[in-house]
């Protein structure tokens, strides 16, 4: 008997609020990466895209390909008491990743063993090639990054709602650093909401009907996280989905959002 578990379903996500602690199981694809770097622990986010693979940012993992990285489920810090830990058996950096420009800032981690899907552990859907996300489209970003520049790391997974910013506005804000392989989101002229240090690699998702679609991967922002002049910048998943798909042959659902 074959049982299909579809991506993008979060049965415990019943309420969405920006800039607050997430409820237990609200984001069942959220992963926390614990990376040994220069003798210390560094933290990044990631997203579960099927039972064996995690999507994250290349800048989190470049130079640490031989490091064992622990991936834990979002519900560890969501007060659910449920968690799963894995090490990475393989890390693959996007073949055209450009550091320090962060172009194609995408990496894949193969887990040491498959995870078992539950209401608290589920994969996210990926935006297909050609997907369009117009300025103003509402998205949600999640992670355990600092609550503000120079602040502390939270114990509980945080969520924030931010609108997509056009690439032209984002390009102008960053003085030409933004490419078509990136997507931006944030509250320009308002600020106060968005990713910060420790959120890198985590997912930016939007809702398409009843399914959650990942459109971006947290890549970079201005040094001061909540600066209203600079939206958050994310690796655009739809521009790399063919590369992502080519890396492994497992089936997962692709959603086109027009």
Peptide bond into 100 cis (omega under 30): yes
| 105 is a catalytic site residue | yes
Residue ranges with strand state E in 38-190: 40-48, 53-56, 70-73, 85-86, 88-93, 107-111, 125-127, 138-143, 158-165, 182-185
Residue 244 neighbours by CB under 8 Å, 6+ apart: 49, 55, 106, 108, 126, 237
Dihedral (Cα; 176, 177, 179, 184), 10-degree rounding: -100
Question: Which tokens in the block code for residue 190?
Answer: 């308002």
| 103 is a catalytic site residue | no
**How far is residue 180's CA from residue 240's CA, in Å, rounded to a whole number?**
11
DSSP 162: E
Give residue for tokens 């990713």: 195
Question: Which one of 32, 56, 59, 219 is the catalytic residue?
Answer: 59
Question: Which tokens in the block code for residue 33?
Answer: 């990466």
Question: Which one of 200, 215, 219, 240 is the catalytic residue?
Answer: 200
Q: Are 49 and 106 a contacting pair, CB within 8 Å?
A: no
| 197 is a catalytic site residue | no
Question: Which one of 52, 77, 105, 199 is the catalytic residue?
Answer: 105
Show which residues are catalytic. Answer: 59, 105, 200
């Amino acid at each position: 008997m074959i049982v299909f578990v579809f991506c993008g379903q979060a049965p415990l996500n019943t309420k969405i609020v920006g800039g607050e602690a997430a409820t237990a199981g609200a984001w069942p694809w959220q992963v926390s990466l614990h990376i040994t770097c220069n003798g210390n622990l560094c933290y990044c986010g990631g997203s579960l895209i099927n039972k064996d693979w995690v999507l994250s940012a290349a800048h989190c993992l470049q130079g640490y390909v031989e490091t064992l990285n622990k991936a834990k489920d979002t519900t560890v810090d969501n007060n659910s008491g449920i968690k799963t830990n894995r090490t990475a058996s393989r890390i693959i950096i996007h073949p055209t990743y450009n550091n320090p420009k962060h172009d194609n800032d995408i990496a894949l981690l193969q887990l040491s063993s498959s995870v078992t899907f539950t209401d608290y552990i589920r994969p996210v859907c990926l935006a297909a090639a050609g997907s369009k996300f117009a300025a103003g489209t509402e998205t949600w970003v999640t992670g355990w990054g600092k609550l503000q520049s120079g602040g502390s790391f939270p114990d509980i997974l945080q969520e924030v709602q931010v609108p997509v910013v056009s690439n032209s506005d984002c390009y102008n804000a960053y003085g030409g650093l933004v490419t078509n392989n990136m997507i931006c989101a944030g509250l320009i002229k308002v600020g106060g909401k968005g990713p910060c240090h420790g959120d890198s690699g985590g997912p930016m998702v939007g809702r398409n009907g009843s399914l959650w679609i990942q459109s971006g991967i947290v890549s970079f922002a201005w040094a001061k996280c909540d600066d209203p002049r600079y939206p958050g910048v994310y690796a655009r998943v739809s521009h790399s989905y063919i590369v992502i798909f080519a890396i492994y042959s497992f089936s997962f659902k692709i959603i086109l959002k027009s």
